[in-house]
């Protein structure tokens, strides 16, 4: 089983990035082969809406630009039996680079109108189960709802009949890599935000639990049949 992690955060070492690492670590513990891609490292041009891809699944941009990375991503998704899709929340939704990737992946979708909603199938062969991860600076996790829904729908579409094994949504992450922060760092954050000191211990327990869940989600994903 190969599992592909796609990280939507542009920041290396972010909580989003670290939670994907933990999921993949769990998958490795159950014998999976894993790979992680950071969308910010990719060269993916914007979709132009030409609709040429609807006929044969071949994007006009990839034909003209050999340096465009969409074809590489499609190939890696095809090889994977499991996906981990992760994104931070930017203004209640995914960042532009995440939206851009899935805009371009419409080339791999077969859309049949006439139904409500229209039927959407994926051209990329193989069934894939998935885990989705959303991290949010706002402590109100409801602010992550649209981002989570977008990732779940994207995972299901790319999954070709696969399921979303787990959803991991974490709010209140205002520092880079906060899920791995030490107590002193969290105490400084609490002081700046007028958060009572006792709340820091609860934060540390929460992050420990979240990372344990991420690890277990990776194990579960690795053991599911493709």
Note whether 124 and 77 are within 8 A (CB). yes
Q: CB under 8 Å to 5, separation ≥6 — which residues?
A: 20, 23, 24, 34, 35, 36, 37, 83, 84, 86
Q: What is the pLDDT along the chain (226 residues), one digit of tens a residue?
A: 999 999 999 999 999 999 999 999 999 999 999 999 999 999 999 999 999 998 889 999 998 999 999 999 999 999 999 999 999 999 999 999 999 999 999 999 988 877 777 788 899 999 999 999 999 999 999 999 999 999 999 999 999 889 999 999 999 999 999 999 999 999 999 999 899 988 999 999 999 999 999 999 999 999 997 6
Find out whether the peptide bond into 117 is cis, omega within 30 degrees of 0.
Answer: yes
Backbone φ/ψ region at 194: left (φ over 0), alpha (ψ -120 to 50), beta = left
Cα of first residue to Cα of last residue in the chain, in angstroms, is: 8
Extents of the domains making up the chain: 2-223
- And the tokens for 83? 């996906």
Which numeric CATH code is attached to 2-223? 3.40.50.360
| Cα separation, 46 vs 213, whole angstroms | 35
- And the tokens for 23? 């999921």
Q: Whose structure tokens read 């993949």?
A: 24
Has this prediction a pTM greater than 0.75? yes
């Amino acid at each position: 089983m190969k599992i592909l992690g796609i990280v939507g955060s542009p920041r290396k070492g972010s909580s989003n990035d670290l939670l994907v690492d933990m999921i993949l670590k769990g998958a490795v513990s159950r014998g999976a082969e894993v790979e992680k891609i950071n969308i910010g490292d990719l060269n993916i041009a914007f979709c132009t809406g030409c609709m040429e891809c609807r006929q044969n699944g071949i994007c006009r941009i990839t034909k003209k630009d050999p340096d465009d990375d969409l074809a590489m991503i499609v190939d890696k998704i095809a090889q994977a039996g499991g996906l981990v899709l992760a994104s931070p929340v930017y203004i209640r939704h995914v960042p532009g680079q995440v939206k851009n990737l899935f805009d371009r992946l419409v080339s791999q979708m077969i859309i049949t109108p006439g139904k409500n909603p229209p039927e959407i199938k994926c051209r990329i062969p193989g069934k894939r189960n998935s885990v989705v991860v959303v991290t949010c600076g706002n402590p109100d996790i409801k602010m992550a709802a649209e981002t989570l829904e977008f990732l779940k729908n994207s995972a299901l579409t790319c999954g070709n009949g696969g399921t979303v094994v787990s959803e991991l949504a974490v709010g209140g992450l205002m520092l880079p890599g906060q899920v791995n922060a030490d107590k002193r760092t969290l105490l400084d954050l609490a002081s700046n935000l007028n958060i009572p000191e006792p709340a820091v211990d609860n934060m540390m327990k929460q992050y420990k639990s979240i990372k344990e869940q991420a690890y277990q989600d990776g194990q579960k994903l690795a053991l599911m049949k493709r």
